[in-house]
A and B are shown apart, each in its own frame.
Chain A
């Protein structure tokens, strides 16, 4: 069968999504298995902060004190701009594709299932926030000498991998440049990013969730029951 535009579109909209999500979930599950296999159960141990000033409050307050101390010693106090942009970026990265009207219409037609949607001007604004955040990370990597010293091709590639789907989606929606080209670029780049997720530095996402909720350390959000 010759590869026509319609065939490619049908493939990317249907089997392409299934293949990319299958590889994504399989890879993610394998990564989670590997994370569990390099840790061991230690039982729930309360990790007390080293400062005696806080130790008396800590025993009574628990979760809120832990959050307060974590914020004080975290990125939000040392580099608040980077911290806030990073937090907003990660929240929107997950929520915008899931709540986009266009994605939910396709999902509803194909599977009968859909998620909640947000108004299109709002998702437009959020998409631009994501693109600007990616630009911030790229410029930070180029201009900050400490970050530049440890950056390589893979780090710039990751930023590109995340930016292209959002940028092409925004251009396609607003019919900027050639519509068909932008739609294909959007679908191919997004599915590529989903496939590559478990095999690239994007796996810092399950790693972070695992270390925050399961590993016992000063940086964990709850008293974890495992250790490296």
Chain B
């Protein structure tokens, strides 16, 4: 498969993920009142000394939120930033609690799926860091 075919396949996969989960992503992002109370339930955030970029709301808004807003059409650098948020700054431990009831782990998992479709994988990132 040449580069263009891979790109078309990736775009289709991303579109499929966004179309199947688009409604819940949209509702969740709209219902989020940016209260940041979810941060208190994230051990990575607590261990980072309160770094805002580790808060689940920040990770969600700047990963799946950005992907949804731009309909999956992001640059490689943008995908790398998102991968940093959803893999390096998130263990997907599912401990995050939202007072409104938004399923934050599901949204972050969707962001990971989209990154994988774009050719960025958490496994490869681990190899690089090792």
Chain A interface residues (CB < 8 Å from chain B): 34-35, 37-38, 73-75, 78-79, 82, 86, 141, 144-152, 155, 158, 200-201, 203-204, 207-208, 210-212, 215, 217-220, 228
Q: Is the interface of A mostly helix, strand, loop or mixed?
A: helix
Residues of chain B within 8 A (CB-CB) of A75 are: 37, 40, 99
Assuming A149-B58, A203-B31, is B97 touching A219 (CB within 8 A)? yes
Chain A: minimal CB distance from B74 (Å): 19
If A74-B97, A78-B41, A147-B36 are given as contacts, then 19 extra A-B residue pairs at C-beta distance below 8 Å, sorted by A number, are A34-B23, A75-B37, A146-B36, A146-B39, A146-B50, A150-B34, A150-B57, A150-B58, A151-B34, A200-B30, A203-B30, A208-B99, A208-B100, A212-B101, A217-B101, A217-B103, A218-B97, A219-B97, A220-B101
Contact with B40, one of A78, A200, A203 (Cβ below 8 angstroms): A78
A-B contact pairs, 25 of them (CB 8 A): A35-B27, A38-B24, A38-B27, A73-B97, A141-B34, A144-B36, A146-B45, A147-B35, A148-B52, A149-B53, A150-B52, A158-B33, A201-B30, A201-B31, A203-B30, A203-B31, A204-B31, A204-B32, A207-B31, A208-B31, A215-B101, A218-B97, A219-B97, A219-B101, A228-B24
